[in-house]
Every structure is written in structure tokens, then in C-alpha cells.
Amino acid sequence: MSRTVIVVIDGFGIGAMPDGGALRPGDLRADTCGHLLDHCRAANGRPLRLPCLGALGLGLVHPHPDLADRTSLPAAVGRAALGYPGADTFAGHQTMMGADFSKVVVARLGEHLDEVSTALRAAGHTVEPLDGRPLLVVDGRVLVHDNLEADPGINWNASARLEDLPFARILSVARTVRSVAPVARVIAVGGHADGPLPSFVREGDGGTVGLDTPASGFYRNGGLEVRHLGAPLDHTRQLPDLAARAGIPVTLIGKAADILACDAAVRRPAVPTADVLAHTIDAVRATARQSGAGTPGDAGAGPRTAADSRRGGAGPGPRALIVANVQETDLAGHQQDTARYGAVLEEVDAGLGELIALLNSPGDRLIVTADHGNDPTIGHAHHTREFVPVLIHRPEARGLEFLPDAHSLADVGATAALALGLDPAELANGAALPTAPRAA
């Protein structure tokens, strides 16, 4: 059997990238993993209990006394740069699955007012600035503005009160903005506010101006409607769709179920970590009940060939791709709550132990990684631009191997494609990581 499980620990960085301080110079000291370990030891009087992450080699890519001398599993160990602008969950997952984000940029709405206004007027809307500030009022009801909850320039919003407009009309405005927006996401937001939306407009970081959505009452007044419009991507050249077309069952769990595209995938959305882990473990157990003859159309069924071996070897038996996102680590980072983050990470580690026990056939892969950093000690509630770990459990390997630094999260997806016997060149982005034996 050849099953590949990707567990994304959302917001689990291992140290700032060289450009990590471009927006906030203080972010150059970001180190989600190291600061978390230090703070939890001080608060708990003991180190975090992370035996599986330690056994997978986390301490080799992030040297720390609490992770020393733990490596014991047959694993390939490395780290990855993000490979996309900013630090964003949506962009991180799309890149990891093989998307090319080279044309996506970080940009404030104020830098593109003319293009956005022209597109909206061409679509039949009235457009005017709000009190001369760099945001737009569309049809007298919809605010088009910088998203103030993400890093500056990552996302733009189109927001309106549902008592003023039905959500379908808000979404129509957002779609027109999306047609010319260079940023990763345009988000349509409709809700019930405590007053006129212009009264909740404020300045954000980095020269942004937008609606203070939490202050408006949208989140607490009920009836909130949201639609995320991502940058145009060729989802047929991402890992889930590529696997599905090869007859490989695909399961998307947690936030991955919400943000990754694949019509054939089984989706198990969940936020509580216990549910995410339970869905992941159940999905792996389900593959063990499949017939050894493989699934219909499974290119991996049948005798193992020399080409299989060269590809990383999807051998006889059914294959499966499972992608799970653990979101509560990221939520704890946003809340700057080291205690909660540490408790969730220990819960994740226990779940990894169960997955390692189940993924014990030659060709199986457990890939543990992240999508960006979210240092709960950094002094703000935004993501941090950090390297992330790449820890790959390989049951058939004899020992530990080191991976070169991945230039992009897309290399993680390409490596997973190789493990499934797929051609990484069919992805829009990424190159499978070569391995080298550990030095004696």
C-alpha cells in the first residue's frame, strides 16, 4: 500500500526567513517553535511533550534543548521557504498543492484604485472614494477596502450590510474586483452591523485603510455570509486533482477541506483538533480496508516496476492522498496564547503517534509541515514569515536522511506526488526534493 498523508500544522514556523522583517522589522526575531518551547517550559515547569515530532527530526531543523537527541524514526528531514508573497494560509496551501503564485503580489487597494474603479464602472456600478481616502463606496452601499485582519496587502474585502443589499449583489461586486485584483484573495462579506459601515472605517498597518470588521458587529450579530475568491489558479495542475485523475482517493480534512479545490475529494471540514485528528486517522484506517488489488483506474495497481522504484515507488495496492490542516495552532497564535498553542501542539503530537503506527507499509508517507509562522510571543496578532519544517516518515527507509532546503512549499507537494507515483512535472509549480544519506 502507498498512502501519503500531509499534516499541516497551521502557523508552525521554525525561524524567520531573510525577508521576514520587510513589513515589520521586529519579525526578524520570529521563531514560533523556539519561543513556544521556551515559554511553555517556563510556564509549565517542564518541556512540551513532543515525542513524535522529536522522533521525526524536528530538533535537527530547529536545534533546541527540548528537542535534542530524540530522532529515532526512519525519516527525511528538512525545511522549506514559503515560496509565495506574505504569510497566508490560503496562499500557503495552494502553493503546497502545486499552484504557481508568481503573479500574485502584496498590494494595498490604494495602489490600484484606478484599475478597480474602471472595472466596476464598466460593470455598471457607481463608484466614489470615501471622504478622499483610499477605499471605494460602490452603489452607495458596498465598501471595497483593504482587509485589516491579515497582513497589509494580502487580501481585499467587499463589505456591506445585508439589510442594505442581498449577499448575491455584494458577491457580484467582489467578483468584479477579483477580475483585476493582483492580491491572493478578494473576500465578499455581508453581515449585520451596529451602524453605518463608514463609521467603522479606520487606518491599519502599512498604510492600509479598511473596515474594522470585528468592531462593526458583523461577527457577533449573526447571519454573517462570507465568500473567499482566490487568485485564478489552474486547479487541474494541483496535487489533489492530479491524484484524483489517477484514480487515487483524495480526502481533505479541517481547513484544507474549505480552501483546496478537487471535485472528487471527500471533505471533512473541522476546527477542533481532536476532530481533525480523528478524521485523519479514520481516513487512514479506511485505506487499510481497501482491497489489495487497488481501486478502479488506480495506476498503481499491479506488479511493481523499475519505474515505480525510481519514482519513489507506489507499489502494489491502493493509494490514497489525505491532506489535513490543524487550525487551532494558528488560532492560538492569533490570540497570542502560548499555553493554548502548546496544549494543541501536544495533542497534535499524540495524533501523529497514531498515524505513524498506521502508516507502516513500504511506500507509505507521513509528511508533517506548516504553511507559515504565527509566533504567539511576537507582540502582534498577524502571521509571521518563517521557514517551516518538512518532516517525512518513510517506513521502508533504514534511517535518517537530510533534505536540502526547499525553495517553496510547492516542493513539498511535488515530493508527495512522487511518493504516490505521479509525475511532479504535471504540477504547475514545485520540484520533488532529493535526499542524501546522513553523514556518519
- The 10s digit of each residue's pLDDT in 400-429 is 899 999 999 999 999 999 999 999 999 999
Sort 384 into a burial class: Cβ within 10 Å, 0-12 / 13-18 / 19+: buried
Strands, E assignment, 96-222: 127-130, 133-138, 142-146, 155-161, 185-191, 201-203, 209-211
User: Residue 363 corresponds to which cell in the numbers above?
Assistant: 511506500
Residue 153 has pLDDT above 80, yes or no: yes
What does the pLDDT read at residue 151?
Answer: 87
Identify the band that residue 217 occupies on the pLDDT scale cut at 50, 70 and 90.
very high
Per-residue pLDDT averaged across 285-311, rounded?
Answer: 46
Per-residue pLDDT averaged across 28-45, rounded?
Answer: 97
Whole-angstrom distance, CA of residue 188 vs CA of residue 157: 6
Per-residue pLDDT averaged across 322-331, rounded?
Answer: 97
| CATH number at 2-102+233-437 | 3.40.720.10
User: Residue 6's closest CA among 393, 338, 273?
Assistant: 393
Contact 281, 358 (CB under 8 A): yes
Per domain, the residue ranges of the chain are 2-102+233-437, 109-230
User: Residue 135 corresponds to which cell in the numbers above?
Assistant: 477605499
Residue 296 has pLDDT above 90, yes or no: no
Cell numbers 495552494 label which residue? 94
Identify the band that residue 311 occupies on the pLDDT scale cut at 50, 70 and 90.
very low
Residue 315 has pLDDT above 70, yes or no: no
Residue 304 has pLDDT above 60, yes or no: no
What does the pLDDT read at residue 290?
Answer: 65
